[in-house]
Structure 1
Amino acid sequence: MPVALASPGDGTGRLFVADLPGTIRVIGADEPFLDITDRVVDLRSGYDERGLLGLAFHPQFAENGRFLVYYSAPLREGAPAGWDHTSRVLEFSVSTHGRADPDSERVILEIDQPQANHNGGSIVFGPDGYLYIPLGDGGGANDVGRGHPPGGNGQDITTLLGKILRIDIDDEKPYGIPEDNSFVGREGRDEIYAYGLRNPWRTAFDAGGEHRLFAADAGQYLWESVKIIVPGGNHGWNLREGNHAFDPENPYESPQDVPRTGRRGEPLVDAIIEYPNAGQPGGIGQVVIGGYVYRGSAIPGLVGRYVFGEWNRDGARGDGIIFAATPAEGPNEMWEFTEIGVAGSRTVGAYVLAFGEDADHELYVLTSKSRGPAGKTGRVHRIVPS
């Protein structure tokens, strides 16, 4: 079940794929690059949002051989009783044989998770050299319940859940804090880069333009959305679901009065893309899947457009959608998007799990015919002209 694809940018052209149960493989190689299945929490074969969820190569990987992974581990000792698991960010190094050295593990960060779902995990290095870590709100539903304070984790700046973190792994151990992080020197966790997120399932920096950070924020019952992450910005959850008002006590209806500010009076950041999900009439699908702004050369008509997806179209049993969104002309306008047809079959014919980008900025789609980490139906497809 492939959920992440990354290129080390070391001139080799290799593509590395992270598989949910706990292995990282190089496409074309026989042996796994890294196998941590014995460290990953026991997964449910039918469906599970836990597992090996992220892979990021250090910007100087060609020189230092360092890379990082994000995965779901069994609940650590000392974690709150009754919680589900602990998310871990680890650093590894490559051995002299060219494969990962499993004994080189260095723990960067551990985050206890109250529920099994909403884990984010698509770690990525930014153009500034810092590591960005997307985290969901802790799981469950509505951002309420065990492990969720009044008002929700997304809006609570004293917790790391429901945030995108930004840390320096080349500074102090286990990590340093960039001085320009938004909450340095004032109330709030210093690691926080942005907040108000439900489950940022797959995030990516634009390789061109202004190098903005795009995040697909999985919705609750009504709205899926994509957001351009603003440093220090409050992206709305659980005051909003997408750009619509949200009431955790009545999550099946969007209130008419849409909040414009957070609980501290700060402005809420609007999503750039929003669509109705299968929880309401006319819904397109079930979960938005984040992608990339296309900066390759194979398909000139896609350059500058955001290519993203939908896990499973409404009414289907394993048929995702690929979209291309065009930047809006005005600063406060929504991006328009259209479905990209698949040659031959016209549809994907499998669940869309993630997108990937190679060193030449060409894009890939990661799919599976299974809803969970079972079987061998996972595939990596390259997007090419029809």
Structure 2
Amino acid sequence: MKKGWVYLFALLFVVSWISPTQCEDQLDATVEIRSFSFQPESITVPAGTTVTWINRDPFAHTVTADDGSFDSGSIRGNGGEFHLALSEPGTFPYHCTPHPSMRGEIIVAPAEMPDLETGEGPRVGVELVAEGFTAPMGFITSRDGTGRIFLIDQVGLVKIVYPNGTVLEEPFLDLTDRMVELRPGFDERGLLGLAFHPEFSENGRVFVFYTGPLRPQAPDGWDSTNRLSEFSISTDDPNRVDMGSERVLLRIDKPQFNHNGGTIDFGPDGYLYVPIGDGGGANDVGLGHPPDGNGQNTTTLLGKILRIDVDETGDDAAYGIPADNPFVDDEDIPSEIYALGFRNPWRIAFDTGGDGALLVSDAGQDLWEEVNLVVKGGNYGWNIREGTHCFDPADPRNPPQVCPEVDARGEMLIDPVIEYGHDLGTAVVGGYIYRGQALSDMVGRYIFADWSNSFSTGNGTLLVATPSEEGLWVWEEVYIADSPTGRLDLFIRSLGIDDDGELYILASDRLGPVDSTGAIFKIAPPPEGQNETDEG
């Protein structure tokens, strides 16, 4: 590692200030400096990548290696840039000298990915269903017997897709004129969730979760306002939403652009569940984050799973509160809160079999990714813990040996059921307990994914875990047959499900919400001669 640092330091004087036009033959990646944070705070790139930092704040910042081996000097505000070419594998933490709470890291992976084709583990095939989307974020059925599946695109569109791959030209829903303007390089905002009322075929009620511009009543300097809204189906066209029918149920202001949550879904109990991120930035600290962090603070909806009753209104409220929500009798805690202690719970799903368990994938920060089996009133640890490990917001790369086992209310912190480190990937993508028929060896197991182990080249990983009554579930990689790497070699953005319980992978070739590389792949049995449980 020391040799790598020396090499990087020597290289800095040659390449750190080269212009983007001089880097056309190299890989590149971008980190934005915004709201006194590096976004994303951790970036994994292959060796040979040139990373560009763009300062969007009005104030000057620096990009300074923790051991002093590289230093950008002052990067002017409102568009100043710093370029750094990275040739040696390793982990390079850095900070801003004038604002030391701003921290980030670069993980440089070997340029050549390992050949996973002969690795042990289950294999599946993938079949292209449809393509030409921008940033597919969800693929769900309306469960009304029509066979339609609805593709949620981050840019603000919902498209209807039929099982044969036919995509209706006219969007089912178009929110592009109501959303915040998305950043093409990388963004976590946009249209993130769609849910159909359990009695949709009779009442035509549709619910969406998306990011709008910051409302006037929000605190100064914050980023945007997430909206939970209800729409009605058009009386003239069952394949279109009446865009004039929007009824905003809930507005949640956010201090930073990231950690929005995403999936919304109705549980077996008929109530709507809404995951909300901790507000963004890093470490759950800074602008808009109280001293104890939003994940642990019980006066805010940020960093929580909410549960509401959309069939009940009254007292000028847009929704009701289930009578058995865990905090309905505590006037100091918002009664919508169902569970707490989350960083970015952007994918949730209920098991359609068994006891209807709620599984929530919570994207980690520097070291660990996790999936939680969520129960009413549970506290899942952020920012006291990251996964099963202690977490120190002041030193996120070095977990303390000891940390509290209970929250401020004296309730036990609950460990995740799945955990993996950033040697595998960078962001967990929650999936589903498989209840379909095509993959016989997968029934009853949790199929999920990791987004990518690189921010410059898509390299998503499909995974499967076996539920356990106690302790962490055992997971393994699922290899994609006929792929040289065993992976999809795209950014995996989400998984989807149809009426038969079969699963889909939603992916794109671009980091940000741009272009039309988004595609839907159906997970299928492997080609003949390659068994699902082939040991290679």
Q: Same fold, TM exceeding 0.5? A: yes
Give the one of 156, 162, 182 matched to 2:303: 162
Could you report, residue by residue, the CA deviation over 1:217-255 in whole angstroms, capped at 9, with x for unpaired residues?
Answer: 110101101100111001000000011000001001111
1:258 shift after superposition: 4.1
Could you report, residue by residue, the CA deviation over 1:322-346 in whole angstroms, capped at 9, with x for unpaired residues?
Answer: 0010012x42x11011111112112
- The SS at the match of 2:268 is coil
Given the superposition, is the C-alpha separation of residues 315 and 188 from structure 1 closer, same or farther in structure 2, using an over 3 Å criterion? closer
1:134 shift after superposition: 0.2
Distance in 2 of aligned mates of 1:132 and 1:228: 14
Distance in 1 of aligned mates of 2:480 and 2:453: 14
Task: Name the structure 2 match of 1:197.
Answer: 342
Which residues of 2 match residues 4-83 of structure 1 at below 5 A? Answer: 4-27=138-161, 28-83=167-222
Letter in 1 for 2:168: A
Distance in 1 of aligned mates of 2:403 and 2:479: 35
- The SS at the match of 2:171 is coil
Letter in 1 for 2:193: G
Letter in 2 for 1:276: G
Give the one of 473, 478, 481 matched to 1:335: 473
Whether the 8 Å CA contact 1:25–1:31 is kept in 2: the answer is yes
**Is 1:149–2:290 an aligned residue pair?**
yes
Letter in 1 for 2:218: A
Which residues of 2 match residues 288-327 of structure 1 at below 5 A? Answer: 288-313=428-453, 317-327=457-467
Task: Name the structure 1 match of 2:258.
Answer: 117
Which residues of 2 match residues 345-356 of structure 1 at below 5 A? Answer: 345=483, 346-356=486-496
Distance in 1 of aligned mates of 2:192 and 2:521: 19
Task: Name the structure 2 match of 1:370.
Answer: 510
Given the superposition, is the C-alpha separation of residues 315 and 175 from structure 1 closer, same or farther in structure 2, using an over 3 Å criterion? closer
Distance in 1 of aligned mates of 2:408 and 2:491: 37
Letter in 2 for 1:176: G
Given the superposition, is the C-alpha separation of residues 314 and 37 from structure 1 closer, same or farther in structure 2, using an over 3 Å criterion? closer
Distance in 2 of aligned mates of 1:143 and 1:316: 25
Distance in 2 of aligned mates of 1:34 and 1:148: 34
- The SS at the match of 2:201 is helix
Whether the 8 Å CA contact 1:85–1:113 is kept in 2: the answer is yes
- The SS at the match of 2:441 is helix
1:188 shift after superposition: 1.1
Given the superposition, is the C-alpha separation of residues 33 and 259 from structure 1 closer, same or farther in structure 2, using an over 3 Å criterion? same
Distance in 2 of aligned mates of 1:163 and 1:357: 25
1:121 shift after superposition: 1.6
Distance in 1 of aligned mates of 2:237 and 2:159: 15
Distance in 2 of aligned mates of 1:315 and 1:188: 38
Where structure 2 has 5 or more consecutive residues not aligned to the other structure, the ranges are 1-134, 162-166, 527-536
**Is 1:89–2:228 an aligned residue pair?**
yes
Task: Name the structure 1 match of 2:420.
Answer: 275
Given the superposition, is the C-alpha separation of residues 59 and 163 from structure 1 closer, same or farther in structure 2, using an over 3 Å criterion? same
Whether the 8 Å CA contact 1:131–1:168 is kept in 2: the answer is yes
Structure 1 consecutive aligned stretches of length 4 or more whose deviation exceeds 4 Å: none
Which residues of 2 match residues 172-321 of structure 1 at below 5 A? Answer: 172=313, 173-186=317-330, 187-277=332-422, 283-313=423-453, 317-321=457-461
Letter in 2 for 1:370: R
Distance in 1 of aligned mates of 2:404 and 2:450: 27
Whether the 8 Å CA contact 2:455–2:511 is kept in 1: the answer is no
Which residues of 2 match residues 92-107 of structure 1 at below 5 A? Answer: 92-95=231-234, 96-98=236-238, 99-107=240-248
**Is 1:171–2:312 an aligned residue pair?**
yes
Where structure 1 has 5 or more consecutive residues not aligned to the other structure, the ranges are 278-282
- The SS at the match of 1:62 is helix
Task: Name the structure 2 match of 1:132.
Answer: 273
Distance in 2 of aligned mates of 1:240 and 1:23: 36
Name the Cα RMSD after superposition. Answer: 1.0
Distance in 2 of aligned mates of 1:206 and 1:257: 34
Distance in 2 of aligned mates of 1:287 and 1:36: 26
1:67 shift after superposition: 0.7
Whether the 8 Å CA contact 1:67–1:93 is kept in 2: the answer is yes
Scaled by the length of structure 2, what TM-score is found? 0.70
Whether the 8 Å CA contact 1:116–1:139 is kept in 2: the answer is yes
Higher relative contact order at CA 8 Å, sep ≥6: structure 1 or structure 2?
A: 2
Task: Name the structure 1 match of 2:26.
Answer: none
- Greater C-alpha radius of gyration: 2
1:259 shift after superposition: 2.8
Scaled by the length of structure 1, what TM-score is found? 0.97
1:50 shift after superposition: 0.4
Letter in 1 for 2:309: D
1:314 shift after superposition: 5.4
Distance in 2 of aligned mates of 1:6 and 1:320: 21
Distance in 2 of aligned mates of 1:129 and 1:264: 29
- The SS at the match of 1:341 is strand
